Structure 1
Amino acid sequence: MPNNTSKYQPRKTSSRATYILGGVAILVIAVLVIGGLVWNSQRDKDGPDESVLNSNAALIVGAASAPQTIDVFEDFMCPYCKEFEQQSGAAIAKAVDDGKLRVRYHMLTFLNKVSASGDYSSRSAGAAQCVGEGESKDVFLKFHSALFAKQPAENGDTDLSNADLAKIAAEQGASPETQKCVSDGSMVEQANVAAAQSLNQLSKALGGQAATPTVLSAGEPVPDIMNGTAWLDKLLSDKS
């Protein structure tokens, strides 16, 4: 996301457009706007609830003793989330392995409407729940990265079936039990509930709007996450 003298202002010509959801209420997904609107700097007075962020993540990776904790909000249909994963995924994983970072992953589902099946965001988020609960962090991170690598096109003619998602999970080392969880769609409803709760918390952090990808640190949005890994270097150096 480009630097601006005034942060989070609309930039209609931005090549780093993010996905925005305005006027979000608890458990209600409002109208999706795809474009160059960036975040509003005015925060909800209450701010996100730490206990909710901690309880509804698809997976929490990293030691509880890590000096820095971040919340990462993504949708598996979001192309800018794919770009974020390509830029920062490996650096995040290394910081986790080095004991410097704890990450709470929140998989949102508001891009269902641009998937061929109409529910791909939900089904892929459910698959991530299966892998997160049934496998190690390494398998989860590989699966997370693989889903972005195989991301279906927006408004395309096809996307990945549950059987396809289960096959990808198997390729990353998931057990037969986890593969069945994915192929059966066993955690889709759980993922939808978690996504709605996460969306509400994200809206509180962003003054009634929501965007993917977003990284929060101590409940505040981290700037410049689409410009390489300098954002992560700064966070880690601030806690060193």
Structure 2
Amino acid sequence: MSKRNNWENKQNARERLRAEREQQAKREKTRRQFLVAGTIVAVLAVAGGIGYAATQLGGDSGKSTNAAWKAASEQTLVKPANTAGDKGTEVVIGKKDAKHTLDVFQDMRCPICSVFEQNVGDTIDKDVKDGKYKVSYHVGTFLDRNPAIAGTGSKNALSALGAALNVSPEAFSAYNKALYAKANHPEETKDDFADDAVLLKVAQQVPALKGNAAFEKDVKDGTFDKWALEMSDSFDKVKDVTGTPTVKFDGKKVTVETGQGQGVPMTAQQFESAIAERLK
């Protein structure tokens, strides 16, 4: 009896030892997994940091880097023709003697601005032609600074718009419309406008810009990069504009009831009704 108990005790001891070893092995495996995971995270963090630094500090991709735009900020300011103001940040399209002014605030990467232009742009063009009002454009680049989609496309497209404005106000309006066209406007998360080749390809849809060597040179050389930064700074100083598109008529925001509160008129009918009310 005592021998059996002694054997059972030894057997139990062996089982406990085996169980403890298995637990220890599991703990070691878990520890190794954490170490490996931690290493991967660290590597990814470093890689992410390098990627972020490359975005911020530049590389070999020209104006698609923020280093190039930092250099642009130190350029001598070249203002496009057909602008006004000390730094050329007043961009007004339409008859100078028009009694009313429509202020349009936009970002060239903004997808809602694209929809607004597609739906309402023709109405605005007609009203401007008819002399109902002139349009003052305020173009920001805040989407380039959004950490989730950081890039340089807003600035680069704005600089290209400056090159179009240097050709003529009509070229500016047509190019603005072309950049926002459904077939041309990239998703918000894609920084396609950082590429001069993309901007120049879209420009071929505008008769005044198609094959225009001077315009192409200004885009490639970044002639109006400094001006684009000044335009962006001017946009940022307007404190009551917190998103794009924003539209003002004679200094007061134009809004309509959307069912979720007040919002920008996003259809031609909504816009026409809102402006007609202001013109009474």
- TM-score of the two chains, using structure 1 as the length reference: 0.67
Aligned to 1:180: 217
Residue by residue, what CA displacement relative to the aligned partner does 1:174-195 show, whole Å, maximum 9, x if unpaired?
2321221112222122111111
Q: CA deviation at 1:143?
A: 0.6
Q: Any stretches of 5+ residues in structure 2 without a counterpart?
A: 1-83, 257-263
Q: Secondary structure at the match of 2:187?
A: coil
> Where does 1:85-234 land on structure 2 (aligned, <5 Å)?
85-113=117-145, 118-135=151-168, 137-149=169-181, 150-156=184-190, 158-159=192-193, 161-172=195-206, 173-174=208-209, 175-201=212-238, 203=239, 206=240, 210-224=242-256, 225-229=264-268, 230-234=270-274
Aligned to 2:7: none
Q: Secondary structure at the match of 1:216?
A: strand
Residue by residue, what CA displacement relative to the aligned partner does 1:122-149 show, whole Å, maximum 9, x if unpaired?
00011111111222x3222111011112
Report runs of 4+ in structure 1 exceeding 6 Å deviation: 51-54
Counterparts of 1:60 and 1:234, CA distance in 2:
21
Q: How many residues align?
A: 183
- Compare 165-174 and 182-191 and name the one that shifted more: 165-174
Q: Secondary structure at the match of 2:242?
A: strand
1:166 counterpart letter in structure 2? L
- Compare 103-112 and 114-123 and name the one that shifted more: 114-123
Bigger radius of gyration: 2
Aligned to 2:93: 61
Contact map agreement 1:72 1:213 (CA 8 A) in 2: yes
1:239 counterpart letter in structure 2? L
Where relative contact order (Cα < 8 A, 6+ residues apart) is larger, the structure is 1
Q: CA deviation at 1:158?
A: 4.7
- Compare 164-173 and 210-219 and name the one that shifted more: 164-173
- In proportion to residue count, which structure has more strand? 1
Say if 1:190 and 1:157 are closer, same or farther in 2 by CA, change over 3 A.
closer
Q: CA deviation at 1:55?
A: 5.4
Aligned to 2:44: none
Q: Any stretches of 5+ residues in structure 1 without a counterpart?
A: 1-50
The RMSD of aligned alpha carbons is: 2.7
Contact map agreement 2:163 2:219 (CA 8 A) in 1: yes
Q: CA deviation at 1:71?
A: 0.9
Q: CA deviation at 1:96?
A: 0.9
Q: CA deviation at 1:156?
A: 3.0
> Where does 1:26-37 land on structure 2 (aligned, <5 Å)?
none
Q: Secondary structure at the match of 1:212?
A: coil
Aligned to 2:50: none
Q: Secondary structure at the match of 1:65?
A: coil
1:171 counterpart letter in structure 2? Q
| Percent identical residues | 28
Counterparts of 2:173 and 2:140, CA distance in 1:
17
Residue by residue, what CA displacement relative to the aligned partner does 1:1-48 show, whole Å, maximum 9, x if unpaired?
xxxxxxxxxxxxxxxxxxxxxxxxxxxxxxxxxxxxxxxxxxxxxxxx
